Amino acid sequence: MLHKKIIFTTLLLSLFFWNCQEKKEQEITLPETSKTSLKIDYATGFSIEEYDTYKILTISNPWPNADKNYSYLLLTKEQAAVSTFNKDDYDGIVTIPVEKIVVTSTTHIPALELLEVENSLIGFPGTDYISSERTRKLIDTGAVRELGKNEGINTEVLLELNPNLVVGFGMDGSNKSLETIRKSGIPVIYNGDWVETSPLAKAEWIKFFGVLYNKSEQAEMVFKKIKNDYLEAKKLAQNATTKPSVLSGAMHKDIWYLPSGTSPEAQLLKDANVNYLWQETDSKGSLALNFEAVYEKAKDADIWISPSYYGTFDALEKANAHYTQFDAFKNKKIYSFVNTAGKTGGVTYYEIGTARPDLVLKDLVKIAHPELMKDYESQFFKPLQ
């Protein structure tokens, strides 16, 4: 009897160790989770890593001089139901594709429309600034709620809407309303497209929205078309036989603000094959000069682009009579985008220009080299009235 017990015990122990060894061997032979990184050509402020069962979106530059990266775990509903991820490892967990979204900048609207997901928009701060006819229809029917101002979002209404995600933007991440929303359990992701330093880098943020809607392939196709059209316009501009000199900006109080030579605006002017008179400057942000410094350098400029918010020659002259001394004023060669607006006053350039730098560049080539684009109708920039 004792002998039988020993044999039985030995058999149990053998089966136990055999099963453990089998499990160990099975664990060793399980395939590792594969990882791929979404291809990003120009943008530096975000990255996307795709794994077998989840994705990670990292925002590295949501505002100037940001001191940390922000990481977001993206899961489908099915993956979220069985997820064992530690929430503390991420700045937010987002279920994709997003079904209900709140965005906070008009520059976000074109991406939603280009991906054909504008119907997911349920709230926006400052709906009058939106100029797109497609999104305005949603606003007019009540599908998109007014949320007040970006710096003071009506959190009560937003929490009632209960979006899957809020896409914000901020100068330094100190928006108290967005922080309240985040603490309520609604993910908030800061979009940093405006921090990018080139027009195509800004436009590439459509891939940021693409991954949120499981539409990365469509986002890639859209961006590829924009990029190719931009590069074609740039190539066309190189055929110009003249290179007009360009002044930009206008006075605000006692300071004349102009784009730095490293800015996206200066890059557009360079690609339009013009002589932007401050192209060689390398300051971060805008240049801040006095009137005398600008006049000395640009009094003979052939073209004046974007004279602040002034839409007519009369308004420009009333603001400062000294503006009339510039050749561009005398020759009626001043162009602005402020007169191209939607039905509620939203300036279309501020909405579409970031997403469609190809159209902006074509406008500039049309202004500087009209002989190269005789049949093209400008989308944003029009002669001052």
> What are the residue boundaries of the structural domains of the chain, listed by start?
35-226, 238-383
Q: What is the pLDDT of residues 288-338, one digit of tens each?
A: 999 999 999 999 999 999 999 999 999 999 999 999 999 999 999 999 999
Task: Say which CATH superfamily domain 238-383 falls into.
Answer: Nitrogenase molybdenum iron protein domain (3.40.50.1980)
Give the pLDDT score at 172. Answer: 82
- State the Cα angle at 375 between 369 and 380, rounded to 5°: 70
Is the CB of residue 358 less than 8 Å from the CB of residue 226? Answer: yes
Cis status, amide bond into 62, omega within 30 of 0: no
Fold identical between 35-226 and 238-383?
Answer: yes
Examine the pLDDT at 4 and tell me if it is beyond 60: no
C-alpha 220/C-alpha 206 separation (Å) is 8
Average pLDDT of the residues in 127-139: 95
Cα–Cα distance for residue pair 201/194, rounded to 1 Å: 9
Taking alpha carbons only, the member of 104, 75, 175 closest to residue 121 is 104
CATH 1.10.3470.10 fits 35-226, yes or no: no
Q: Does position 120 have pLDDT exceeding 60, yes or no?
A: yes
Task: Report which residue type is found at 335.
Answer: Y
Looking at residue 173, its pLDDT comes to 77
What pLDDT score was predicted for residue 226?
Answer: 98
Reported as a pLDDT band with limits 50, 70 and 90, residue 246 is very high
Pairing, β 101-103 against β 165-168:
parallel
b/e sequence 82-119, b meaning 16+ C-beta within 10 Å: eeeeeeeebbbbbbbbbeebbbbbbbbbbbbbbbebbe
Question: For residue 9, is pLDDT > 50?
Answer: no
pLDDT at 90 over 90: yes
Answer yes or no: are the C-beta atoms of 330 and 302 closer than 8 Å: no
Question: Is residue 278 a contact partner of residue 259, using CB atoms and an 8 Å limit?
Answer: yes
The confidence score (pLDDT) of residue 33 equals 62
